[in-house]
Amino acid sequence: MKYEWRKNDKKLYLPKEKPELVRIPSMKFIMLDGRGDPNGEAFSEAVGALYSVAYGIKMIPKSGRVPEGWYDYTVFPLEGIWDLDVSEGAGETLDKGKLIYTIMIRQPDFVTAEIAEEAVEKVKKKKYNLLLDKIRFGDMEDGECVQMMHIGSYDSEPVSFKRMEEFCRENGLVRTEMKHREIYISDVRKTEAAKLKTVLRIKVRNI
């Protein structure tokens, strides 16, 4: 039976539209680091490179070699960890050109560094992209987090982050870092801005 993240991992990917405390376990990802405005061409190319490898991993059994422990699955959604370069100071408004990000796509437990590398090499042979050389594979564990589903445009996310900060104050929690994670449940190419679904997540600890 195919592993469907929408059905099997609802707690991680389909939270309610209000803040909640959750523990995020260690998971495997293919990742790509970058910086700059996510509305630019460079970001789109990075997303494309990452998805090409994600689907390359999924299709490996079609080449005749089935990895140990393999099972069919739906490719996981795009995620991003976002930070801001404030080395030159932070202005009153967000300068998207100063954004620093790591975009990633979760991988099933059976995926290894060798499998990910094999997929990268196969994608290179079909259509070479310099960004493919920068894709890395690794584990990541966020631990205790506050998360919620944000409905609406990315520019309206501060409203949801304010609710999350209020939840932290009310429950004796504090952020451990200013980075945050976003998980893109909707396809931005097919969904109007007002209906976009994005999981917002921040790392926290008890005061």
Q: Residues 9-62: pLDDT tens digits?
A: 999 999 999 999 999 999 999 999 999 999 999 999 999 999 999 999 999 998
For the beta carbon of residue 51, count every other beta carbon within 10 angstroms.
Answer: 15
132-168 pLDDT, tens digit each: 999 999 999 999 999 999 999 999 999 999 999 999 9
pLDDT band at 64 (very low <50, low <70, confident <90, very high): confident
Residue 63 CA, distance from chain mean position: 28
| Measured torsion, CA atoms of residues 129, 55, 33, 67, in degrees rounded to the nearest 10 | -110
pTM for this model (two decimals)? 0.94
For residue 90, the model assigns a pLDDT of: 53
Percent above pLDDT 70 for the chain: 97
Q: Which of these, 104, 149, 163, 173, lies nearest to 12 by C-alpha position? A: 149
Q: How far apart are CA 81 and CA 38, in angstroms?
A: 12
Alpha helices, DSSP H, located in the chain: 5-8, 10-13, 41-58, 113-126, 157-170
Q: Which regions of the chain does DSSP assign to beta strands (E)?
A: 20-24, 27-35, 78-84, 99-107, 136-140, 143-151, 173-175, 180-184, 197-206
Domains present along the chain, CATH in parentheses = 1-25+141-207 (3.20.80.10), 27-140 (3.20.80.10)
Residue for token pair 């991992």: 9
Res 85: pLDDT: 76
pLDDT at 154: 95
Tokens of 197: 């679904």
